[in-house]
Amino acid sequence: ARLAYSAEQISVPVCSSLQVPALQLHVSKTAMRASQKDFESALSQVKLLKDPGNEVKLKLYALYKQATEGPCNTPKPGVFDLINKAKWDAWNALGSLPKETARQNYVDLVSGLSSSSDSSSQVKPEADRKQPGYETLVVTSEDSITKIMMNRPAKKNAMTTQMYNEIMLALKAASKDDSAITVLTGNGDYYSSGNDLSNFTDIPPEGIEEKAKSGAILLRDFVDCFIDFPKPLIAVVNGPAVGISVTILGLFDTVYASNRATFHTPFSHLGQSPEGCSSYTFPKIMGPAKAAEMLIFGKKLTAAEACAQGLVTEVFPDSTFQKEVWTRLKAYSKLPPNAMRISKQVIRNREKEKLHAINAEESRVLQERWLSDECTNAVMNFLTRKAKL
């Protein structure tokens, strides 16, 4: 969409008839000074830009009015005249900014928009888009989607304490960034093999009890981040999923799975108990009988079974999984972000308090389980390679 579009082409209703007056090209005499050429060129350039969004269009409007007419000189529109009020507010906010400065600011703003639209037309390699500061994840933001990818493919994306902490950081950042939706996925052939069992090995000098205590706090904080995440959260399950990577799916808004994915929570095998609020969400999603088969007996579900039981939204053939899912997500990410966020709140908020209480209880029970012989033996068996799932 170009700036010179019709009202119907603008998606956000509050500014739906916002015409950037730069296009009217009636430049006043006062503006015809030194940078008049630059200003006129910016006025032409603005027509060629990609739609910069209503916020920027309001800035352009205000600067144009200030540059050509000076400080706001019209009566404030009525409270229900939303569009004209937004325009008036933007212009009025410039106060007594001199015309020359406004003209220069207009030129600078258009020039900034031109260079960013030039660079956004080229697809940068993922390495260039990658957010710094993460060692176990690759976090990227593009097309209004923040993608958090678990990145320990050689270890089947097993979750170390560092990965739990980095996922929390990435979710907190994503909740505040300008993306519309957030995705969690895995790199390689697995989505995630769940808790990294070597988390049980670095016992502090204070003893195993302290380790279990800090593990329970970490688990609780981790799951709380999913309960509280304010935007649509999507799991792109690219392969098998185990343990905590499965249980938290009940806190996602949408779960897309490759037909290669499986869903497995072998808690009893490991001498452990359910977490991620699955003791509540799974019976609610799939009924108590099916939930018990998974959470008590460790039954592994295929992607098709998980979909039939409501844990997965849709299953895609592995050969077209990435293409189909990302096409779908790119389309969803263009929907009005505030409406999506508010819809999520309406759907989820009334359960939040309950989910926090369930998370606290599950973490408390698991803290005790980690100290049991059943758990110690199961973990030792895996780490000494006597047992595999």
Query: Which residue, among 268, 257, 267, 243, has the nearest Cα to 305 in the 3D structure?
Result: 257
Nearer residue to ligand L4XM7KOE within complex by CB, 20 or 366: 366
In the 8-state DSSP scheme, what is residue 247? Answer: H
How far apart CA 50 and CA 3 sit, in angstroms, is 7
In the 8-state DSSP scheme, what is residue 369? Answer: H
Shortest Å, Cβ 76 to ligand L4XM7KOE: 56
Nearer residue to ligand L4XM7KOE within complex by CB, 211 or 231: 211
Shortest Å, Cβ 243 to ligand L4XM7KOE: 2
Nearer residue to ligand L4XM7KOE within complex by CB, 88 or 370: 370
Shortest Å, Cβ 284 to ligand L4XM7KOE: 20
Place of tokens 């392969």: 239
Distance of CA 21 to the CA centre of its chain: 35
Shortest Å, Cβ 152 to ligand L4XM7KOE: 8
How far apart CA 122 and CA 46 sit, in angstroms, is 20
Shortest Å, Cβ 162 to ligand L4XM7KOE: 11
Edge to edge, the sheet with strand 181-186 lists 137-142, 145-150, 181-186, 233-237, 254-258, 314-316
Query: Which residue, among 217, 267, 225, has the nearest Cα to 246 in the 3D structure?
Result: 267
Nearer residue to ligand L4XM7KOE within complex by CB, 104 or 367: 367
Shortest Å, Cβ 17 to ligand L4XM7KOE: 53
Q: Look up residue 212 and give its two tokens.
A: 């279990």
Nearer residue to ligand L4XM7KOE within complex by CB, 83 or 218: 218
Cβ burial of 201 (10 Å; 0-12, 13-18, 19+) is exposed
Nearer residue to ligand L4XM7KOE within complex by CB, 72 or 257: 257
Residues found near ligand L4XM7KOE in the complex (CB under 6 A): 155-156, 158, 193-200, 211-212, 215, 218-219, 242-244, 270, 272, 275, 370, 382, 388-389
Query: Which residue, among 323, 139, 126, 336, has the nearest Cα to 231 in the 3D structure?
Result: 336
Nearer residue to ligand L4XM7KOE within complex by CB, 52 or 276: 276
Shortest Å, Cβ 98 to ligand L4XM7KOE: 59
Q: Which helix (H) or strand (E) segment is 5 a member of?
A: none
Place of tokens 């999984």: 321
Which residue number places its CB atom closest to ligand L4XM7KOE? 243
